[in-house]
Amino acid sequence: MSAELSPIDKAKFVAARRAADFVEDGMRVGLGTGSTAAWLVRCLGEMVRENGLRIRGVPTSSRTASLARDEGIEVITLDEARWLDITIDGADEFDGALNLIKGGGGALLQEKIVATASDRMVVIADAAKEVAHLGAFPLPVEVVPFGWRTTEALVAEALESMDVMGRETALRMNGTEPYVTDEGNYILDLRLGRIGNARQLALVLNQMPGVVENGLFIDICDTVVVGHGDGRLELRDINAGTVTEDRVDFADNENLFRDLGE
């Protein structure tokens, strides 16, 4: 089955497989949303079923919650957990300081709440997600539906004074209707090209009435696990200032791939 995976999927898998090693018995674990995070949930499910790992997972979306239950992971709410030992999630972009853009999957609000309620946040990503400057990926901004056009106009006005390359805004759609988040909100995607001062932009956006949260994750991520299609990976720890290399052998994970093919 591993031979049928694309190089990108292999890179996502090896990052997820290695990040799963950070999870220890008895932990309360934040479970991210998206294609890379889905690999992590599958890896943890295998460890629960085959190794007897006992964890409680706090999903960041209804999609992740459904997958976690299917994998045999005990699912609880953040209110029940109160605080988490670790959150493992993907990212749409990350820079050299491990600042992120997240929200391509539409779960940025819950993702940020869960990540900041954790002792440690680990991001899993393929190498293509690394950028010199954030902004090539459209920045998601979650807004309340009431008066969203006014909120969009306020955001566009604020961008005029921001250090960004582009200033196009668009309402995210789901077919012919606006995309609706798990919290019942809309998402504006800001096509900025390059963000000169991500910290300032995050603060300005969140001061606007109608804006619920933005997809800039500043000083939240502790570790990034970067996967490559040939099984190589890098672990970058922002707190320790270290970069270490490792490798995941696809042959050691035949059971997981077999499960995906059934």
State residue 262's pLDDT score: 45
Annotated binding residue 129: yes
How far is it, in rounded angstroms, from Cα 13 to Cα 16?
5
Count of the separate structural domains present in the chain: 2
Of 46, 71, 111, 142, catalytic = 111
State residue 256's pLDDT score: 63
Please indicate, yes or no, whether residues 208 and 104 belong to a single structural domain of this protein: no
Please indicate, yes or no, whether residues 10 and 111 belong to a single structural domain of this protein: yes
State residue 259's pLDDT score: 59
Please indicate, yes or no, whether residues 194 and 247 belong to a single structural domain of this protein: no
Please indicate, yes or no, whether residues 101 and 231 belong to a single structural domain of this protein: yes
Please indicate, yes or no, whether residues 84 and 101 belong to a single structural domain of this protein: yes
Give the CATH number for residue 173.
3.30.70.260
Please indicate, yes or no, whether residues 232 and 175 belong to a single structural domain of this protein: no
Please indicate, yes or no, whether residues 196 and 236 belong to a single structural domain of this protein: no
State residue 255's pLDDT score: 63
Catalytic, 4? Answer no
Please indicate, yes or no, whether residues 123 and 242 belong to a single structural domain of this protein: yes
Note the pTM of the prediction, 2 decimals.
0.94
Dihedral over alpha carbons 154, 157, 161, 164 (to 10 degrees): 90
Quick one: which of 55, 42, 37, 34 has its CA closest to 1?
42
Give the tens place of pLDDT for each residue, 147-161.
999 999 999 999 999
Percent of the chain exceeding pLDDT 70 equals 95
Annotated binding residue 35: yes
Instruction: Residue 164: give the domain boundaries.
Output: 139-215
Annotated binding residue 116: no
CA 243: distance to chain centroid?
A: 21
Please indicate, yes or no, whether residues 89 and 169 belong to a single structural domain of this protein: no
Positions of the chain with pLDDT under 70: 1-3, 252-262
Give the CATH number for residue 242.
3.40.50.1360
Please indicate, yes or no, whether residues 51 and 92 belong to a single structural domain of this protein: yes
Please indicate, yes or no, whether residues 232 and 210 belong to a single structural domain of this protein: no
Annotated binding residue 227: no
Annotated binding residue 12: no
State the helix-helix crossing angle for 35-51 and 62-70, rounded to 10 degrees: 30
Please indicate, yes or no, whether residues 84 and 68 belong to a single structural domain of this protein: yes
